[in-house]
Amino acid sequence: MKLSFLIKLSIQNLIIDYNHSKISFFWIPVSFTILVLAKSFFLGDILGMDNEYVLYLCIGVWVWNYISIAVPFYGDSLFNNHLLLNINIAPKDILFILHIRLLITFLLNLVILFIFIQFFTIQFNFGAFIFSCLLLTLLIHQIGKILSIISFYFRDLTQLINNMMVVLFFLSPIFWYPEQLSTSKIFYIQLNPVFHILNIFRDAIMQGKYNILGFQVVVGLLVATYLINLIFTNKVIKNCATKI
């Protein structure tokens, strides 16, 4: 009963953002489609990309869209309790509702990605793709829990996150190929977790294979953030309930 209630709140919260729209939150996939087409139309010529660039870009934008929306949302989730119209609810449930809301956005844009896929000849690895989706959503939720509690007590982190997301966007191969970098810079780009996240999705969809290094990095991050939450964050979240 409680689970269905929280899911319902997640959907209602998403609808509120598009309260005066005729198609409601279906603007999410529409906006995603427009963004991909606009970027591929211009960047494909500017950067001299090949015929598979549209799909390459679509995967990158899809993954980045989820990350870039989720990270700031989690950072503000506990401090800005207007997420649920000031309903008195446990902090862990607020994070769960946000998690479901983000999953809806993730899946809506996934529909558009699958439409784009139909126009390309690829070797789609369903197992690698599902595993990648599971790891990404779990990892973002674990990172989000850490950011939510730190931002709750140290509000300057919110501004830092917003600035770092801009930097991370340009340092991630979302609309450019890593091969375009000089050899000396390839090493540094591999230190970027988003680089590996993008790789596990692109290899699963475009090449039909498991990116072993990418999975090792993402699983390692997931285990590390889960342990941090298990040992520290989960307890602190319970204690901050009276301050929300």
Count of domains observed in the chain: 1
List Cβ neighbours of 97 (8 Å cut-off, separation of 6 or more).
Answer: 6, 9, 10, 13, 83, 84, 89
Kindly report the pTM of this predicted structure: 0.83
* pLDDT interval class at 239 (50, 70, 90): low
What pLDDT, on the 0 to 100 scale, is given for residue 213?
93
Average pLDDT, the chain: 81
Domain assignment of residue 206, given as a range: 2-243
Element (H, E) at 82: none
* Residue 137 near residue 219 (C-beta atoms within 8 A): no
User: Of 8, 222, 1, 202, whose CA–CA distance to 104 is shortest?
Assistant: 8
pLDDT tens digits along 152-193: 777 777 778 888 888 888 888 888 888 877 777 788 888 889
pLDDT tens digits along 60-86: 999 999 998 888 888 777 766 644 444
- Give the separation between CA 102 and CA 14, rounded to whole angstroms: 9
